[in-house]
Structures are given as structure tokens and as C-alpha cells.
Amino acid sequence: MSGEDAPAQQQNAVDQKQETKPAEEPKAEPPKTESAEAGATPAAAPEKAPEEETFTYRALVLTGYGGYDKVKLQVKKGKPALKAGEVQVRVKVCGLNFADLMARQGLYDRLPSPPVTPGMECSGVVEAVGEEVTDRKVGDKVMVLNRFGLWQEVAVVPASHTFLIPEGMSFEEAAALPVNYITAYLMLFDFGNLRPNQSVLIHSAAGGVGIAATQLCKTVKDVTVFGTASASKHEAISQGGVTHTIDYRTKDYVEEVRKISPKGLDIVLDPLGGSDTHKAYNLLKPMGKLITYGTANMLAGQRKNLIAVAKNWYHQFSIHTLSLIQGNKSVCGFHLGYLDGEMELITQAMNTILDLYKQGKVKPRIDSTWHLEQVGDAMRKMQERNNVGKVILTTEPMPEEEKKEEAKKEDKKEDKKKDDKKKDDKKKDDGKKEEKKEEKKKEEPKKEEKKEEKKEEEKKEEVKKEEK
């Protein structure tokens, strides 16, 4: 595949033969996998027959495993069928998660094979309700959690997978909340059983889960939070509640923790996998809990990196019960994507989180908002760990002038793409820093960062994998 760096917008023009107009000017297309079977009869919000024919909406579609360009903006036609218990949501904002990045590389088995629309969370407005739905009505503002399929303008999901957005919460916050906060909550308070005076290590403390976990830790008295992040993010995570910041790029985080807490830690949240899981285990004090919830170490580069995957498997942590017994330790695995069936548990967690939100104790931090056309850049920002907080997508149409700007950028990128690809193939990590800094300037998200200093921080940052 060519065009590793091309954003969704241009990819559509270049790669999608069946599309004759740009994606942002919707046109009738053959129905996609997720598109409607005509003839659906939504009970609570019946639509006119003509609309069913002309109903179109934009959707991001993973067309095959690979780089950022594999997620393309397409137009789906036909009103989605609405089964009993389901609601149709007009999506406003979508959240990006690490699982989406894994999925794009073919490393996440909860996503059906391409072509498929990714996306585990979004916010929006209910625009139709199916039979037997009693607790949602048209016009309800909701956040949605689903196994996949939410990166599109219209999504049909079980009503039980929606949660009412509380007053005062923006669609942006609502799209940033479900995955990160439920993940952090269940890890800390179900597996972790976090109590006052305990100590927690949070890797990637500036990431979505990291920020959520830090805020949740601060709801418990006298919890000490160790947080790793690159130095430029330390001020942000300190303000967010991290007690001891550790620059994992210049310091050995195990040593740093031991200096302050020689006996070790009560809880380690491990999103990295591989050899970092071993380190986490050794850092536990008696009755300590290691909660591993990802294999971010597997992500090296845009496309599936077989060496990184193999390395992660090779170093994968495996534990014998006798060691656990003698150490009085706990090892837990968590992934919200595999908790599908447990909506009761998830709803309980969500209710608690929303209470904390209303009390002002937790609040999602948005790193940047991108148009659907910019999904490639958004994914890149997250994968290269240049975010502080949540990366989200808006379904708002992209203004014409911005489109022209994007197109110019893309031309420049097109030239550089070939260089990129060569370097990617060589698998050389050195020498990329300058190039990426340059790229970053071009990739400013559509919405201006509220704090100027954040931009400065980001420019200084280097991607995590570079020092790995």
C-alpha cells in the first residue's frame, strides 16, 4: 500500500474507485456492511419512506489492516434498521482509543474483519428508538459505548449501551469519558480495591486512561500517585494530581519508584505489556495488585510490526501460582472490549463516575479535536504519544477553507510520504525526530488548543517508541 500518511480525506479521492465525489458531499453509494437493510420499521420514530431511500451519512471505514490511511471516510446509504431494544444516535463526537490503533493493525480481535467501521465510544443525540425501548427518547443526549461501529454520523446500538449525558457536560467530554473512565474505575476499584494511604503507578499518565486514573485516585484519601510521561508533560500531570512524575525516557522508573517507596507499590496499572509487566510485578509490595490492560509495546510504527509483536509475546508475562502465593501478589488482566456482556457492571461503574463528575471530582481532559477527514492525523498523534488527554473526532462538516488548507498540507505530505515509507521499511528510528517535529507543525488540529503552552510542550515532545 502506498500513502501511509495520507489522511482519510485524500485517501477517499485517491483510493476509492466507487466514489466519484469527495466524501464530504454525500452521494448515493452501494450499501456497506453496516448500512441499512431497507424496510426497517422503527416503532417510536417512524420515518417517511422516501427518506429511507435517500438517507445517507458519512462513516469511517477500516478497509484493511495497515497504516493510518487504512481508515477511509465513506458515505453509507439507507436508513439503518432498528431492532427491538435499539436506538439510532446522530453522532456528534467520537473518542479514539488504543484498541482502535491495535485494530487498524489487525491486533485486536474484537473488531470484525474489514471493511468495518471502528469506534468504541461516542456522544450524540437519540434520533429514533426501537420497540421495547422505554428509558430513551428522541432528543436524549447520550454517550455510547459499543464494541465497534461508532466512528460514523449515524450509529444504531442497544439502548443499554447508551448513558444519558448529565447537564453541563459537553459532547466532547461525553465522547472522551466512557472507555477511559470505566477502564480506570474498574481497574482501581474492582481489581485494585484502592484504599486510603495506598500507592499507585500509572504509566502514560498523560494519556486518556492515565488522566482518568489519576483523577480517580485523588478521590481516595492520601493516595500517592507515581506517573510516567515525557518531561514536557510533567507540569500537566502534576496539576492533574500525580504526586511523583517520572520521565521514563531519561530515568529508570523502577529505580525512581524504589527511591521514594522502597517497599514497592500497592497497585501498578500496566498498559505496556512485555518486559514492563515483569517490572510491574517486581514493584508490588505484599498484597499488591498488578493490573495489566494493554500491550502498547506491540505498537511500533504504523503497520503491524512483527518484530514488536514477537518481542511482546516473547517477553509476555507468565506467572506460576506458587510465586503468587509466596509473594502474596495479585495479577489481573483488564480490557473493556472483552466486557461486552457485562452491561450491568458497566452501568454501575458509569453511574458512580457520573456522580463523581457532577461533584466536580472527575473531568475528561480533551487533547485535541479532529474532523473525520483527519482521522489519520488524530491516530498518529495518539500513537506517537503526543497527546495530553483525549484525542477526539467531531462529525461537524469541515469548513471549505480548512479543506483547501488540508489539501495543501497533503500535497506536501505526499512528497514526504515516500521518504517516510523508505525509513519505515528500513526500520530505523534515529533521525526521525526532526522530521516529526516538522510534521507536527503541519498537523495542527482544527480546533485551536486552548492553552498556548500546551502547543509548546507538544513540539518539544518526542514519540515514545523513539527511545525504546
Q: CB of 416: closest distance to a copy of itself in angstroms?
A: 36
Neighbours of 452 (CB within 10 A): 9
Identify the three-state secondary structure at position 378: helix
Helix axes 375-383, 8-15, angle to 10 degrees: 130
Q: CB of 436: closest distance to a copy of itself in angstroms?
A: 30
Return d(Cα 68, Cα 4) in angstroms, integer: 6
The grid coordinates of residue 52 equal 429511507
The verdict on 376 binding a copy of itself (CB under 8 A) reads no
Residue type, 365: R
Identify the three-state secondary structure at position 248: coil
Report how far apart the first and last C-alpha atoms of the chain are (Å, whole number).
Answer: 26
The verdict on 327 binding a copy of itself (CB under 8 A) reads yes
DSSP of 138-185: TT-EEEEE-SS--SBSEEEEEGGGEEEPPTT--HHHHHHSHHHHHHHH
Integer angstrom CA distances of residue 67 from 171, 272, 394, 437: 28, 20, 21, 20
The verdict on 196 binding a copy of itself (CB under 8 A) reads no
The verdict on 28 binding a copy of itself (CB under 8 A) reads no
> Which position among 73, 107, 186, 372 is part of the footprint of a copy of itself (CB under 8 A)?
186
Q: CB of 333: closest distance to a copy of itself in angstroms?
A: 3
The verdict on 160 binding a copy of itself (CB under 8 A) reads no
The verdict on 388 binding a copy of itself (CB under 8 A) reads no
Identify the three-state secondary structure at position 332: strand
The verdict on 204 binding a copy of itself (CB under 8 A) reads no
Give the β-pairing of 224-228 and 199-202.
parallel
The verdict on 370 binding a copy of itself (CB under 8 A) reads no
Which is nearest to 159 in space by CA: 35, 343, 339?
Answer: 343
Q: CB of 313: closest distance to a copy of itself in angstroms?
A: 8
The verdict on 292 binding a copy of itself (CB under 8 A) reads yes
The verdict on 193 binding a copy of itself (CB under 8 A) reads yes
Residue 116 is classified by DSSP as B
Q: In this complex, which beta carbon is closest to a copy of itself, that of residue 45 or of residue 319?
A: 319
> Which position among 59, 120, 236, 331 is part of the footprint of a copy of itself (CB under 8 A)?
331
Q: In this complex, which beta carbon is closest to a copy of itself, that of residue 171 or of residue 191?
A: 191
Q: How many residues in the shown chain lie near a copy of itself by CB under 8 A?
A: 38
The verdict on 286 binding a copy of itself (CB under 8 A) reads yes
> Which position among 50, 318, 401, 425 is part of the footprint of a copy of itself (CB under 8 A)?
318
Binding to a copy of itself in span 247-276, by CB under 8 A: 273
Chain residues binding a copy of itself by CB under 8 A are 186, 190-191, 193, 273, 277, 286-287, 289, 292-295, 316-335, 338-339, 341-342, 345
